[in-house]
Chain A
Amino acid sequence: MITTQDLTKTFTDRKRGAVQAVDGVSLACQASEVFGVLGPNGAGKTTLLRMLGTILQPTSGTAQVAGYDIGTQGQQVRANIGYLSGTTAPYDRLTPREMLAYFGALYGMGSALVADRTREVFDDLDMHEFADRRCERLSTGQRQRVNIARAVLHRPPLLFLDEPTAGLDVLASRTVMRFIRKCRDAGRTVVFSTHIMSEVEGICDRIAVIHRGRLAAMGSLGELRERAGGGSFEQVFLRLIGEEETG
């Protein structure tokens, strides 16, 4: 579903000069798997996912997403993915129903199809109660459900979730995690980035560990544990990025 070859992104910072946010990352994600992208803050996870979502152009390297090249077929890539991050928000002055109608139209769906899918998504996420209330009046959890609904409305085969629980309370985080499990059960491919070990541990089929822009390790949880010599997942992670506590 996703393959990347030497994907690199360099930003120019006035103070720090050239900053390599993603440095030659090559990875592969199979269809129907929940693929975790794990790394500390500033590791390059968001930049990697933004490149795969064609929000950012890579400085060098290539990637295929859902069979399309991110450099030359950006529009097709975007039509085949759903993207949700912890920082994205719904439009305050629109209702959830209007928000889905807007994005449905952008995805080229006819109004009848949008209405059908909206009903299904509202059923799935239990959103009928606040479907016609402006998003500015919704709770954090309800707003996150609107974001999820927007990301899956067009039934993309591939979902990118960039730290989707960042800044959420326990209840709202549970909504997101439940949603990822539902996606996995429905056979959808999910790329899920986080810095929270417990989130990865319980849900991901395979994990890519990113540190300082580089791919530090990739494999199933068992493979990573074996490679790092066992222990808790936190210890495994620290060993993989070469930051294991001493003493």
Chain B
Amino acid sequence: MLKAEGRMPSVEDSRRRSRAAIVFTKEFREVFRDRRTIIGVVISPLLITPLLFLILGTFIAGEAKKMEKETMSVGVVNANLAPSVMKAIGKPPSLAFERVQADRAESLIKSRKLRAALVLPTDAEKRLAAHRAVRVQVMLDAGNEKSNAAAARLRAAVTTAGAGLIQVRLKRLDLPSDFATPFDIKEAPIKTGTGRGTLIVAGMLPYLLALSCFSSGIYAANDTVAGEKERGTLETLLVSPASRREIVLGKFLAVAALCCVGSVLSVVGMSIPFFSGLKAFDWIARGGMHLTAAGIGVTLLMQIPLAVLFAGMLMIVSTFARNQKEAQTYLGPMMIAIIVPAMMSMVMGAEAPRAMAAVPVLNASLIIKQALTGSTDPAFLVLALAASVLYAGIAVAICTRLFDRENVLLRT
């Protein structure tokens, strides 16, 4: 039999443990019972970067090997008029010369029957005999990787031939072999981790991290408000002693925590290729890429305000939407709003103007890029952190206001 009313828990009793914390704990625990959360927040961020690196590495190495082995057909215009030049060039490995007419060279390169062409001038023999420079032209399709590679091989072959001719001339004149080389220049790159590969990865990773952080919170945010409206559980919660602010704070913290978990796991995933020592990731170290503890620290630090901002944005959408389907519809344009600034960091240099620290998402991406390329600007970092915290605060404030509006909260 039901008991008559007993000791009523007082409002003061409830303060023993913050209701926002109670809501947070329940939301965080409950959302992890859904397979979609496990896949979206744990598995995907952990695996996406290592997989991407693995695929990239395998692909790049495969392509490079293939190109290295490939003998490329290269046209030579006016070869019959310059036998001495052809003799000096000889038969370089991995290049197959074909004599072509000047008017056909271009169309043969376009149709990829030839990868590039060496255009010799008609007076090549005369100039060579007179010890004058022979102006050769390397014709290529600049938009084609293989054409570029063939042109590079041609340049190398002609340069080697030129160096050989100089040595012959110097010997004839009884001059030392370095007579025509007043400066012997050698590059000595310092270890900053800013190799070409690093730049590519540093451009790509902030974008991936931002996306991962955002997508980690999508399911939880949709489920926690729009989903509750749809299932009829929100009303139950609204009639509990928890205030709207406590409810929204608890739910918001749960979504922000999920975004953070997704971010942290993305950073862990990002670190795997650098620290695992697996052979499959050797190409990263060979490419001069390094990930330092400080780099990881700054990346993680920047992910927190980003997670809070994304959680706020996602909660606004979820609170405003009638149901999860409607929330998904709003998320499309929002995703673009995230992707565009995140992508901008791919093309923008790490040393961006400080005004960029005020642009949400882009600022975080640039900070991560700076961290990865070892060029962190402390002032930019502070500004970006302050701006991100401000935007996150605005998003949370909007979300709280929406939660107070019954025409928004209770529309189904």
The smallest C-beta distance from B10 to any residue of chain A, in angstroms, reads 7
CB contact between B241 and one of A94, A108, A152 (< 8 Å): that residue: A108
Q: Which residues of B contact A197 (CB under 8 A)?
A: none
Q: Which residues of A contact B33 (CB under 8 A)?
A: 93
A75 touches B241 (CB 8 A): yes
| A136 vs chain B, min Cβ distance (A) | 10
CA distance A110 to B10 in the complex (A): 12
Closest B residue by C-beta to A82: B239
Shortest Cβ distance from A120 into B: residue: B3
User: How many residues of A sit at the interface, in one of the four size bands?
Assistant: 35 or more
B5 within 8 A of A: yes
Against B, the Cβ 8 Å flags (1 = close, 0 = not) of A81-100 are 10101011111111000000
CB-defined contacts of A12 to chain B, threshold 8 Å: 407
Residue of A nearest to B30 (CB): A93
Chain B hits for A107, CB < 8 A: 9, 14, 240-241
A106 touches B8 (CB 8 A): no
Contact of A93 among B5, B13, B34, B240 (CB under 8 A): B34
Across the interface, do A155 and B8 meet the contact criterion of CB distance under 8 Å?
yes
Q: How far is the CA of A18 from the CA of B16 in the complex (A)?
A: 43
Question: Would A56 and B406 be within 8 Å (CB), given that A81-B239, A91-B30, A108-B11 are in contact?
Answer: yes
Query: Knowing A75-B241, A79-B10, A89-B233 touch, does A156 contact B1 (C-beta < 8 A)?
Result: no
A83 touches B2 (CB 8 A): no
Chain A residues lying within 8 Å of B379, measured Cβ to Cβ, are none
Task: State the main secondary structure of chain B at its contact with A.
Answer: loop
| Shortest beta-carbon distance from A71 to chain B in Å | 14
Q: In this assembly, does A78 line the interface, its C-beta being within 8 Å of a C-beta of chain B? A: yes
Judging by beta carbons under 8 Å apart, are A188 and B4 in contact? Answer: yes
| B236 located at the interface, meaning its Cβ lies under 8 Å from any Cβ of chain A in the complex | yes
Q: Which residues of A contact B19 (CB under 8 A)?
A: 105-106
* Stretch from A169-177, A178-186, A215-223, A229-237 at the B interface: A178-186
Interface bits B228-241 vs A (CB < 8 Å: 1, else 0): 00011101111111
Q: Does B102 contact A (CB under 8 A)?
A: no
By a CB distance below 8 angstroms, the chain A residues around B383 are: none
Contacts of B14 in A (CB 8 A): 79, 106-108
CB <8 Å contact, A124 and B1: yes
Residues of chain B lying within 8 A (CB to CB) of residue A11: 407
CB < 8 Å neighbour of A75 from B6, B11, B406: B11
Shortest CB-to-CB span from B245 to chain A, Å, is 11
Q: Is B180 an interface residue (CB 8 A)?
A: no
A55 near B240 (CB under 8 angstroms)? no
Q: Is B113 an interface position by the 8 A CB rule? A: no
Q: Is A62 an interface residue (CB 8 A)?
A: no
Q: B8-27 interface mask toward A, CB cutoff 8 Å, 1 = contact, 0 = none?
A: 11111111110100110010
- Report if A187-B22 is in contact (Cβ < 8 Å); known contacts: A55-B238, A56-B406, A75-B11: no
Whether B2 contacts A182 by the Cβ 8 Å rule is: yes
Decide if A105 touches B1 in the complex (CB within 8 Å): no
With a CB–CB cut-off of 8 A, which chain B residues contact A94?
26, 30
Q: Could you list which residues of chain B lie within 8 angstroms of chain A, going by C-beta atoms?
A: 1-6, 8-17, 19, 22-23, 26, 30, 33-34, 231-233, 235-243, 406-407, 410
